[in-house]
Structure 1
Amino acid sequence: MHPLKLKKPLAFFDLETTGTNVVTDRIVEICIAKAMPNGQLNTKTWRINPTVPIPLETSLIHGIYDDDIKDAPTFKEVARPIHQFLEGADLAGFNIIRFDVPMIVEEFLRVNMEFNMQNRKMVDAQKIFHLMEPRTLSAAYRFYCGKELIGAHSAEVDTLATFEVLCAQIARYEGVLLNDDKGKEFQPVKNDVQALHDLTATKMVDLAGRMIFNEKGEEIFNFGKHKDRLVTEVLEKEPAFYDWMMKGDFPLDTKRKLTEIKLRSFNLKR
């Protein structure tokens, strides 16, 4: 039985991939440990044939080689059961906001499956860890759980370790007060998925973080020459920038969100 206070399932997950580029790399293993409101923890793991070679330097990190997955199903073949297992669940993991969530959403979009993030909360244990005790997952596991992480970079080991880390973080930090940049006290860590989502995941517009919300809740670019400028302003004054992004090496989710903003802006002016 786990100690998390949940109103809906919270799916901890970790990916092993061919690399770190969301656009060109592919998933080779996924583990999902779904924490249920009744205290149960249900775990499933899939090995996946990425249909592209795994670079040797990557295999040396996670221990999965081309021969290990040559007979495994492709993502398209397992997309539906993975999607069903995640149905109705919020998401949690270690560094999921910057990598794992954008990667899995991209994989679903490649096989023409919508993975709706609109009603899902995201909890990133790495952000809590870096806020309170800046280190790595292995160090986090040692610090919070008092154990050595044996078998790191296996999706199942990392997923279950992250689950234990988040539970320990809540036990340690719930009630601890910090001062924000204006000197006002606040309690960042609570045993509540909404509060943890607000702490770790609310600023992003797209999952790759190319666009974020500013303090006024407006979408701004988070990279390049237009960093910190309003997306609507750039699209209006420099429409060619939209075309450049749509033709560029950006994730499908980023292009989709940019198009949504463009269409919304256009409709407001009509």
Structure 2
Amino acid sequence: MSWWQQPLVGFDLETTGTDPAVSRIVTAALVDTVGARRTGATGWLVDPGVPIPAEAEAIHGIGDDLVRAKGRPAKEAVDEIATALCERLTAGRPVVAFNAPFDLSLLDAELRRYGLAPLAERLGGPVEPVLDALVIDRAVDKYRKGSRTLQRVCEVYGVELTDAHEAGSDALAAVRVAVALAERYPGEVGDVPLAELHTRQIDWHRTWAESLEAWLRRSKDPQAVIDPRWPLR
């Protein structure tokens, strides 16, 4: 049985901003599946301890009043999220995300912020296996024009996204896109053993980052830097 027919877990965060080094978690979700079929989910509403910018609230719809009234203290929630994620990784269940370096690096930064053990320390080794639907899509259909937001990629692969920017909905959509990619590209994705596919994504992301950085330096910004690290920065 191929990896995409077995248990997976989708992971997504909604946050206060777009920089994983400084942004804070507002909501988080882990969605358990067997293949594309949802079997369970765990979600967190978190009081980040800082004001939620208006531009972030406009995206995910969560503001200061709600998190102060109903959100979990950030340190407790961050520890729980990391524990739940690492339990699944330790069990060999692949974690699926869309733009994994953002979500995983932000979670790791939050753990360090509160003096908690980071992901690699909890796991006793690398954070793996990880499947990044964005990285895989860029690699197997690199010349497709247009944006690669989760909403757009869902349209390309016929995946329903019922509530964009709701963490549970986005996490499930990431899993279903990964499964759709595996079905459409068996030789490059679906039939590849998990360990090898994880390694391929490291190379695919680095190649994409280097190409984009070179283009930006030629055409827009001579000092442009695109981080080549995956799945953590």
Using the size of structure 2 for normalisation, the TM-score is 0.72
Q: Does 1:78 align with 2:77?
A: yes
Q: Which residue of 2 aligns with 1:102?
A: 105
- Mapped partners of 2:186, 2:49: distance in 1: 44
Larger Rg computed on CA atoms? 1
Q: Which residue of 1 aligns with 2:202?
A: 201
More helix by share: 2
- Mapped partners of 2:8, 2:49: distance in 1: 30
Does the CA-based 8 Å contact 1:29-1:46 persist in structure 2?
yes
- Find the residue that maps to 1:201 and give its secondary structure: helix
- Cα distance, 1:78 vs. partner? 1.8
- Find the residue that maps to 1:84 and give its secondary structure: helix
Does the CA-based 8 Å contact 2:28-2:81 persist in structure 1?
no
Task: Tell me the matched-pair count.
Answer: 197
Does the CA-based 8 Å contact 1:33-1:160 persist in structure 2?
yes
- Cα distance, 1:188 vs. partner? 5.1
- Find the residue that maps to 1:92 and give its secondary structure: strand
- Cα distance, 1:79 vs. partner? 2.9
Q: Which residue of 1 aligns with 2:191?
A: 190
Q: Does 1:123 align with 2:131?
A: yes
- Mapped partners of 2:83, 2:21: distance in 1: 24
Identity of aligned residues (%): 30
Q: Which residue of 2 aligns with 1:155?
A: 167
What is the identity, as a one-letter code, of the residue corresponding to 1:76? K
Q: Does 1:4 align with 2:14?
A: no
Match of 1:91 among 91, 95, 109: 95
- Mapped partners of 1:137, 1:41: distance in 2: 22
Does the CA-based 8 Å contact 1:145-1:164 persist in structure 2?
no
Does the CA-based 8 Å contact 1:5-1:192 persist in structure 2?
no
- Cα distance, 1:76 vs. partner? 0.7
- Find the residue that maps to 1:126 and give its secondary structure: helix
- Find the residue that maps to 2:178 and give its secondary structure: helix
- Cα distance, 1:25 vs. partner? 1.4
Higher RCO structure, 1 or 2 (CA under 8 Å, sep 6+):
2
For structure 1, list consecutive stretches of 5 or more residues without a partner in the other structure: 176-186, 210-223, 228-252, 255-270
What is the identity, as a one-letter code, of the residue corresponding to 1:190? D
- Cα distance, 1:108 vs. partner? 1.2
Does the CA-based 8 Å contact 1:16-1:28 persist in structure 2?
yes
- Mapped partners of 1:226, 1:130: distance in 2: 19
Q: Which residue of 1 aligns with 2:212?
A: none
- Mapped partners of 1:29, 1:188: distance in 2: 30
Does the CA-based 8 Å contact 2:13-2:29 persist in structure 1?
yes
- Cα distance, 1:5 vs. partner? 4.6
Using the size of structure 1 for normalisation, the TM-score is 0.63
